[in-house]
A and B are shown apart, each in its own frame.
Chain A
Amino acid sequence: MSESREHPDLQDLVGNDLEPSEREQLEGVHAMLLEAGPPPELPPSLAHAPTPPSARVIPMPRRFRYPAIAVAAIAAIAIFWAGYLVAGGPDPRPVETLAMSGTGGATAELALFAKDDAGNWPMELNVSGLPAGSYELWLTRGGELAASCGFFAIAGDEVTVPLNAPYRLTEFDGWVVVPKGGDERVLTT
Protein backbone atom coordinates (compact mmCIF):
# COMPACT_ATOMS: atom_id res chain seq x y z
CA MET A 1 0.00 0.00 0.00
CA SER A 2 1.28 3.43 -0.90
CA GLU A 3 1.73 6.15 1.65
CA SER A 4 -0.36 9.29 1.58
CA ARG A 5 1.46 11.86 -0.54
CA GLU A 6 1.27 15.35 -1.90
CA HIS A 7 1.43 14.46 -5.59
CA PRO A 8 0.25 11.13 -6.96
CA ASP A 9 2.49 8.96 -9.10
CA LEU A 10 1.01 8.05 -12.48
CA GLN A 11 2.20 4.46 -12.30
CA ASP A 12 0.60 4.13 -8.88
CA LEU A 13 -2.65 5.47 -10.33
CA VAL A 14 -2.98 3.39 -13.49
CA GLY A 15 -0.48 0.54 -13.21
CA ASN A 16 2.53 -0.17 -15.40
CA ASP A 17 0.98 -2.18 -18.24
CA LEU A 18 0.26 0.72 -20.59
CA GLU A 19 1.30 0.85 -24.24
CA PRO A 20 4.01 3.50 -24.71
CA SER A 21 1.72 5.74 -26.77
CA GLU A 22 -1.03 5.58 -24.18
CA ARG A 23 1.44 6.16 -21.35
CA GLU A 24 2.68 9.28 -23.10
CA GLN A 25 -0.89 10.52 -23.53
CA LEU A 26 -1.80 9.86 -19.90
CA GLU A 27 1.44 11.45 -18.72
CA GLY A 28 0.29 14.60 -20.54
CA VAL A 29 -3.07 14.53 -18.76
CA HIS A 30 -1.31 13.80 -15.46
CA ALA A 31 0.98 16.82 -15.87
CA MET A 32 -1.91 19.12 -16.75
CA LEU A 33 -3.95 17.95 -13.76
CA LEU A 34 -1.03 18.65 -11.44
CA GLU A 35 -0.51 22.10 -12.97
CA ALA A 36 -4.20 23.01 -12.95
CA GLY A 37 -4.81 22.16 -9.31
CA PRO A 38 -8.23 21.35 -7.93
CA PRO A 39 -11.34 23.04 -9.30
CA PRO A 40 -13.24 25.01 -6.67
CA GLU A 41 -16.47 23.74 -5.23
CA LEU A 42 -19.45 25.83 -6.23
CA PRO A 43 -21.34 27.56 -3.41
CA PRO A 44 -25.16 27.34 -3.45
CA SER A 45 -25.30 30.87 -4.86
CA LEU A 46 -23.56 29.63 -8.02
CA ALA A 47 -25.43 26.35 -8.35
CA HIS A 48 -27.48 27.84 -11.18
CA ALA A 49 -26.91 30.45 -13.85
CA PRO A 50 -27.87 33.99 -12.86
CA THR A 51 -31.22 35.21 -14.07
CA PRO A 52 -30.55 36.93 -17.38
CA PRO A 53 -31.17 40.66 -17.21
CA SER A 54 -34.31 41.60 -19.06
CA ALA A 55 -34.93 44.81 -20.95
CA ARG A 56 -37.74 47.10 -19.88
CA VAL A 57 -39.94 48.31 -22.74
CA ILE A 58 -40.90 51.98 -22.62
CA PRO A 59 -43.68 52.88 -25.06
CA MET A 60 -42.73 55.74 -27.38
CA PRO A 61 -45.16 58.51 -28.27
CA ARG A 62 -46.50 57.93 -31.78
CA ARG A 63 -45.31 61.32 -33.11
CA PHE A 64 -41.68 60.40 -32.32
CA ARG A 65 -41.82 56.93 -33.80
CA TYR A 66 -40.68 57.54 -37.41
CA PRO A 67 -37.97 60.12 -36.60
CA ALA A 68 -36.66 57.80 -33.90
CA ILE A 69 -36.53 54.87 -36.31
CA ALA A 70 -34.61 56.97 -38.82
CA VAL A 71 -32.14 58.18 -36.19
CA ALA A 72 -31.67 54.64 -34.87
CA ALA A 73 -31.05 53.28 -38.37
CA ILE A 74 -28.43 55.95 -39.11
CA ALA A 75 -26.77 55.35 -35.75
CA ALA A 76 -26.75 51.58 -36.29
CA ILE A 77 -25.12 51.94 -39.71
CA ALA A 78 -22.51 54.34 -38.34
CA ILE A 79 -21.73 52.06 -35.38
CA PHE A 80 -21.49 49.03 -37.64
CA TRP A 81 -18.96 50.67 -39.93
CA ALA A 82 -17.00 52.12 -37.03
CA GLY A 83 -16.77 48.67 -35.47
CA TYR A 84 -15.92 47.06 -38.80
CA LEU A 85 -13.06 49.48 -39.35
CA VAL A 86 -11.72 49.42 -35.82
CA ALA A 87 -12.21 45.84 -34.60
CA GLY A 88 -9.33 43.44 -35.11
CA GLY A 89 -10.72 40.37 -33.36
CA PRO A 90 -13.42 39.03 -31.12
CA ASP A 91 -12.08 40.99 -28.15
CA PRO A 92 -9.05 43.24 -28.60
CA ARG A 93 -8.07 43.47 -24.95
CA PRO A 94 -4.86 41.71 -23.85
CA VAL A 95 -4.92 38.93 -21.30
CA GLU A 96 -1.60 40.10 -19.87
CA THR A 97 0.64 43.12 -20.25
CA LEU A 98 4.38 43.01 -19.64
CA ALA A 99 6.71 45.97 -19.06
CA MET A 100 10.22 46.01 -20.53
CA SER A 101 13.04 48.45 -19.90
CA GLY A 102 16.47 49.08 -21.33
CA THR A 103 19.45 51.34 -21.42
CA GLY A 104 19.14 55.00 -22.32
CA GLY A 105 15.57 55.22 -21.11
CA ALA A 106 14.19 52.80 -23.70
CA THR A 107 10.95 51.18 -22.61
CA ALA A 108 8.38 48.83 -24.08
CA GLU A 109 5.03 47.34 -23.25
CA LEU A 110 4.23 43.87 -24.53
CA ALA A 111 0.50 43.10 -24.68
CA LEU A 112 -0.27 39.40 -24.84
CA PHE A 113 -3.63 38.39 -26.31
CA ALA A 114 -5.57 35.13 -25.91
CA LYS A 115 -3.97 32.10 -27.51
CA ASP A 116 -5.66 31.01 -30.73
CA ASP A 117 -6.66 27.48 -31.70
CA ALA A 118 -3.33 26.81 -33.40
CA GLY A 119 -1.29 27.73 -30.32
CA ASN A 120 -0.28 31.24 -31.37
CA TRP A 121 -0.10 33.96 -28.71
CA PRO A 122 -0.78 37.16 -30.66
CA MET A 123 1.09 40.11 -29.21
CA GLU A 124 1.44 43.83 -29.67
CA LEU A 125 4.76 45.45 -28.78
CA ASN A 126 4.90 49.18 -28.14
CA VAL A 127 8.50 50.42 -28.06
CA SER A 128 9.89 53.87 -27.36
CA GLY A 129 13.33 55.32 -26.86
CA LEU A 130 15.33 52.93 -29.01
CA PRO A 131 17.72 54.26 -31.70
CA ALA A 132 16.48 53.84 -35.28
CA GLY A 133 17.20 50.38 -36.61
CA SER A 134 15.93 46.82 -36.89
CA TYR A 135 15.34 44.71 -33.82
CA GLU A 136 14.16 41.26 -32.86
CA LEU A 137 12.03 40.08 -29.93
CA TRP A 138 13.18 36.83 -28.32
CA LEU A 139 11.97 34.53 -25.60
CA THR A 140 14.81 33.47 -23.30
CA ARG A 141 15.55 30.32 -21.35
CA GLY A 142 18.23 30.36 -18.69
CA GLY A 143 19.13 33.85 -19.87
CA GLU A 144 19.92 32.66 -23.41
CA LEU A 145 18.07 33.61 -26.58
CA ALA A 146 15.76 30.65 -27.17
CA ALA A 147 12.90 31.45 -29.57
CA SER A 148 12.37 34.37 -31.91
CA CYS A 149 9.02 36.14 -31.90
CA GLY A 150 9.72 38.32 -34.94
CA PHE A 151 11.50 41.38 -36.26
CA PHE A 152 10.51 45.02 -36.25
CA ALA A 153 12.00 48.34 -37.26
CA ILE A 154 11.89 51.69 -35.51
CA ALA A 155 12.58 55.03 -37.18
CA GLY A 156 11.06 57.59 -34.81
CA ASP A 157 10.44 57.94 -31.13
CA GLU A 158 7.91 55.16 -30.87
CA VAL A 159 6.50 52.22 -32.76
CA THR A 160 3.73 49.69 -32.14
CA VAL A 161 3.99 46.38 -33.99
CA PRO A 162 2.01 43.11 -33.98
CA LEU A 163 4.11 40.04 -33.23
CA ASN A 164 3.45 36.40 -32.45
CA ALA A 165 4.76 33.70 -30.09
CA PRO A 166 3.73 30.26 -31.38
CA TYR A 167 5.27 28.58 -28.33
CA ARG A 168 4.40 27.07 -24.97
CA LEU A 169 5.30 30.07 -22.88
CA THR A 170 5.92 28.17 -19.65
CA GLU A 171 9.06 26.73 -21.25
CA PHE A 172 10.69 30.17 -21.18
CA ASP A 173 11.72 32.58 -18.46
CA GLY A 174 11.85 36.02 -20.04
CA TRP A 175 11.63 38.30 -23.05
CA VAL A 176 14.36 40.46 -24.56
CA VAL A 177 14.80 42.75 -27.54
CA VAL A 178 18.12 42.65 -29.39
CA PRO A 179 19.40 44.39 -32.53
CA LYS A 180 18.61 42.27 -35.58
CA GLY A 181 21.33 39.66 -35.97
CA GLY A 182 22.94 40.60 -32.64
CA ASP A 183 22.62 39.49 -29.05
CA GLU A 184 23.03 42.71 -27.07
CA ARG A 185 19.98 43.10 -24.83
CA VAL A 186 18.50 46.53 -25.46
CA LEU A 187 15.24 45.77 -23.67
CA THR A 188 14.52 43.13 -21.03
CA THR A 189 11.62 42.12 -18.80
Chain B
Amino acid sequence: MATDRRTDAELLAQVAAGDQPAFEELHRRYARSVLGIALRRIGDRGRAEDATQDTFTSIWRSASRFDPARGEATSWLYTVARNAIVDGLRRRREPPVDEAPDMAAPGPGPDESAEHGWVSWRVHRALEELPEQERSLVELAYWSGLSQSEIATYLSIPLGTVKTRTRSALRRLAEELGDDLR
Protein backbone atom coordinates (compact mmCIF):
# COMPACT_ATOMS: atom_id res chain seq x y z
CA MET B 1 0.00 0.00 0.00
CA ALA B 2 1.12 3.53 -0.61
CA THR B 3 2.55 5.05 2.58
CA ASP B 4 3.45 8.35 0.96
CA ARG B 5 0.53 10.59 1.91
CA ARG B 6 1.60 13.58 -0.18
CA THR B 7 -1.15 14.63 -2.56
CA ASP B 8 -0.66 14.51 -6.31
CA ALA B 9 -0.67 18.33 -6.32
CA GLU B 10 2.10 18.44 -3.72
CA LEU B 11 4.13 15.95 -5.72
CA LEU B 12 3.71 18.01 -8.89
CA ALA B 13 4.94 21.11 -7.09
CA GLN B 14 7.99 19.17 -5.94
CA VAL B 15 8.58 17.74 -9.42
CA ALA B 16 8.44 21.28 -10.77
CA ALA B 17 11.28 22.10 -8.38
CA GLY B 18 13.32 19.17 -9.74
CA ASP B 19 12.58 16.65 -6.97
CA GLN B 20 13.30 13.22 -8.51
CA PRO B 21 11.89 11.11 -5.62
CA ALA B 22 8.60 12.99 -6.01
CA PHE B 23 8.72 12.18 -9.74
CA GLU B 24 9.29 8.51 -8.92
CA GLU B 25 6.28 8.53 -6.58
CA LEU B 26 4.07 10.07 -9.26
CA HIS B 27 5.30 7.38 -11.63
CA ARG B 28 4.40 4.66 -9.10
CA ARG B 29 0.90 6.10 -8.78
CA TYR B 30 0.16 6.66 -12.46
CA ALA B 31 2.34 4.40 -14.61
CA ARG B 32 -0.33 1.71 -15.03
CA SER B 33 -3.03 4.33 -15.67
CA VAL B 34 -0.92 5.97 -18.37
CA LEU B 35 0.01 2.65 -19.96
CA GLY B 36 -3.67 1.70 -19.87
CA ILE B 37 -4.83 4.69 -21.90
CA ALA B 38 -1.81 4.39 -24.21
CA LEU B 39 -2.72 0.76 -24.95
CA ARG B 40 -6.34 1.72 -25.60
CA ARG B 41 -5.34 4.48 -27.95
CA ILE B 42 -2.43 2.83 -29.75
CA GLY B 43 -3.08 -0.88 -29.48
CA ASP B 44 0.52 -1.93 -30.01
CA ARG B 45 2.22 -2.79 -26.71
CA GLY B 46 5.73 -1.64 -27.61
CA ARG B 47 4.59 1.73 -28.89
CA ALA B 48 2.29 2.16 -25.91
CA GLU B 49 5.24 1.62 -23.58
CA ASP B 50 7.23 4.25 -25.52
CA ALA B 51 4.27 6.62 -25.23
CA THR B 52 4.19 6.02 -21.47
CA GLN B 53 7.84 7.00 -21.20
CA ASP B 54 7.11 10.09 -23.30
CA THR B 55 4.23 10.98 -21.01
CA PHE B 56 6.37 10.98 -17.89
CA THR B 57 9.07 12.99 -19.63
CA SER B 58 6.35 15.48 -20.51
CA ILE B 59 5.12 15.54 -16.90
CA TRP B 60 8.65 16.26 -15.70
CA ARG B 61 9.02 19.10 -18.16
CA SER B 62 5.62 20.70 -17.66
CA ALA B 63 4.93 20.15 -13.95
CA SER B 64 5.52 23.84 -13.27
CA ARG B 65 2.51 24.66 -15.45
CA PHE B 66 0.11 22.86 -13.11
CA ASP B 67 -2.00 25.37 -11.17
CA PRO B 68 -4.02 23.77 -8.33
CA ALA B 69 -6.40 26.72 -8.38
CA ARG B 70 -7.56 25.69 -11.87
CA GLY B 71 -8.33 22.03 -11.26
CA GLU B 72 -7.33 18.75 -9.71
CA ALA B 73 -3.93 17.25 -10.31
CA THR B 74 -5.38 13.98 -11.61
CA SER B 75 -7.35 15.84 -14.32
CA TRP B 76 -4.25 17.77 -15.33
CA LEU B 77 -2.17 14.59 -15.46
CA TYR B 78 -4.87 12.90 -17.55
CA THR B 79 -4.77 15.74 -20.07
CA VAL B 80 -0.97 15.73 -20.19
CA ALA B 81 -0.99 11.96 -20.73
CA ARG B 82 -3.53 12.07 -23.54
CA ASN B 83 -1.74 14.95 -25.27
CA ALA B 84 1.66 13.30 -24.93
CA ILE B 85 0.30 10.07 -26.40
CA VAL B 86 -1.30 11.88 -29.35
CA ASP B 87 1.79 14.03 -29.90
CA GLY B 88 3.95 10.92 -29.92
CA LEU B 89 1.71 9.33 -32.52
CA ARG B 90 1.87 12.42 -34.71
CA ARG B 91 5.65 12.52 -34.50
CA ARG B 92 5.73 8.96 -35.75
CA ARG B 93 3.34 9.94 -38.58
CA GLU B 94 0.94 7.17 -37.70
CA PRO B 95 -2.67 7.94 -36.83
CA PRO B 96 -4.02 6.70 -33.48
CA VAL B 97 -6.38 3.80 -33.94
CA ASP B 98 -9.27 5.53 -32.16
CA GLU B 99 -8.61 9.10 -33.20
CA ALA B 100 -11.88 10.93 -33.68
CA PRO B 101 -13.07 10.33 -37.23
CA ASP B 102 -13.89 13.14 -39.62
CA MET B 103 -17.31 11.62 -40.18
CA ALA B 104 -19.66 9.83 -37.87
CA ALA B 105 -18.66 6.21 -37.55
CA PRO B 106 -20.36 3.18 -36.02
CA GLY B 107 -19.38 2.07 -32.52
CA PRO B 108 -18.69 4.16 -29.42
CA GLY B 109 -18.60 7.87 -30.15
CA PRO B 110 -15.83 10.19 -28.98
CA ASP B 111 -17.89 11.29 -26.01
CA GLU B 112 -18.28 7.73 -24.81
CA SER B 113 -14.64 7.03 -25.51
CA ALA B 114 -13.62 10.08 -23.47
CA GLU B 115 -15.86 9.11 -20.56
CA HIS B 116 -14.59 5.52 -20.64
CA GLY B 117 -10.99 6.69 -20.72
CA TRP B 118 -11.58 8.85 -17.67
CA VAL B 119 -13.25 6.00 -15.74
CA SER B 120 -10.31 3.70 -16.50
CA TRP B 121 -7.88 6.41 -15.47
CA ARG B 122 -9.57 7.00 -12.12
CA VAL B 123 -10.14 3.32 -11.32
CA HIS B 124 -6.60 2.24 -12.18
CA ARG B 125 -5.20 5.13 -10.17
CA ALA B 126 -7.40 4.22 -7.18
CA LEU B 127 -6.26 0.58 -7.33
CA GLU B 128 -2.70 1.76 -6.74
CA GLU B 129 -3.76 2.99 -3.30
CA LEU B 130 -4.98 -0.39 -2.07
CA PRO B 131 -2.85 -2.64 0.12
CA GLU B 132 -1.18 -5.23 -2.09
CA GLN B 133 -3.27 -8.15 -0.79
CA GLU B 134 -6.52 -6.27 -1.43
CA ARG B 135 -5.44 -5.06 -4.86
CA SER B 136 -4.51 -8.55 -6.01
CA LEU B 137 -7.78 -9.86 -4.60
CA VAL B 138 -9.80 -7.29 -6.57
CA GLU B 139 -7.88 -8.11 -9.74
CA LEU B 140 -8.49 -11.82 -9.25
CA ALA B 141 -12.17 -11.29 -8.46
CA TYR B 142 -12.89 -9.03 -11.43
CA TRP B 143 -10.55 -10.07 -14.18
CA SER B 144 -9.28 -13.62 -13.64
CA GLY B 145 -12.61 -15.36 -14.23
CA LEU B 146 -12.25 -17.19 -10.91
CA SER B 147 -15.15 -17.48 -8.47
CA GLN B 148 -14.71 -16.44 -4.83
CA SER B 149 -14.41 -20.09 -3.82
CA GLU B 150 -11.77 -20.67 -6.46
CA ILE B 151 -9.89 -17.57 -5.29
CA ALA B 152 -10.02 -18.86 -1.70
CA THR B 153 -8.53 -22.14 -2.86
CA TYR B 154 -5.95 -20.39 -5.02
CA LEU B 155 -4.82 -18.14 -2.16
CA SER B 156 -5.25 -20.83 0.52
CA ILE B 157 -7.41 -18.59 2.70
CA PRO B 158 -10.98 -19.11 3.99
CA LEU B 159 -13.85 -18.03 1.75
CA GLY B 160 -15.06 -15.67 4.50
CA THR B 161 -11.68 -13.91 4.49
CA VAL B 162 -11.90 -13.46 0.73
CA LYS B 163 -15.31 -11.79 1.07
CA THR B 164 -14.21 -9.62 4.02
CA ARG B 165 -11.11 -8.41 2.19
CA THR B 166 -13.03 -7.83 -1.03
CA ARG B 167 -15.61 -5.74 0.81
CA SER B 168 -12.85 -3.78 2.53
CA ALA B 169 -11.13 -3.19 -0.82
CA LEU B 170 -14.33 -1.94 -2.47
CA ARG B 171 -14.97 0.43 0.46
CA ARG B 172 -11.46 1.80 0.13
CA LEU B 173 -11.91 2.22 -3.62
CA ALA B 174 -15.16 4.12 -2.96
CA GLU B 175 -13.23 6.56 -0.77
CA GLU B 176 -10.50 6.95 -3.37
CA LEU B 177 -12.96 7.52 -6.21
CA GLY B 178 -14.83 10.17 -4.24
CA ASP B 179 -16.93 12.42 -6.45
CA ASP B 180 -16.33 10.26 -9.52
CA LEU B 181 -18.24 7.41 -7.89
CA ARG B 182 -21.48 6.62 -9.68
Contact = CB atoms under 8 A, between A and B. Distances in A.
A12 B148 contact: yes
B56 A117 contact: no
A107 to B, nearest CB: 10
A89 B71 CA distance: 10
B-side interface size class: 35 or more
Contact of A97 (B26, B60, B110, B117): B110
A89 B114 CA distance: 19
Contacts of A8: 141-142, 148
> Main SS of the interface on chain B?
helix
B113 A96 contact: yes
B23 A52 contact: yes
B35 interface: yes
A98 B127 contact: no
A39 B32 contact: yes
Contacts of B118: 115
B103 A40 contact: no
A67 B98 CA distance: 49
Contact of A172 (B18, B111, B141): B111
Contact of B72 (A5, A14, A100, A117): A117
Interface in A90-149: 90-91, 93, 95-101, 112, 114-117, 119, 121
B79 interface: yes
B170 A168 contact: no
B133 interface: no
Contacts of A58: none
19 contacts: A1-B147, A4-B150, A12-B147, A28-B181, A29-B170, A37-B120, A39-B33, A39-B124, A45-B49, A52-B23, A53-B57, A89-B70, A90-B70, A95-B79, A95-B114, A117-B72, A121-B111, A169-B112, A174-B109
Given A33-B142, A117-B75, 10 more contacts: A2-B147, A22-B171, A31-B182, A32-B177, A40-B35, A50-B60, A95-B82, A99-B104, A168-B115, A189-B109
Interface of B: 18, 20, 23-24, 26-27, 31-33, 35-36, 39, 49, 52-53, 56-57, 60-61, 65-67, 70-72, 75-76, 78-80, 82-83, 100-104, 109-120, 122-124, 127, 138-139, 141-143, 145-150, 163, 166-167, 170-171, 173-174, 177, 179-182
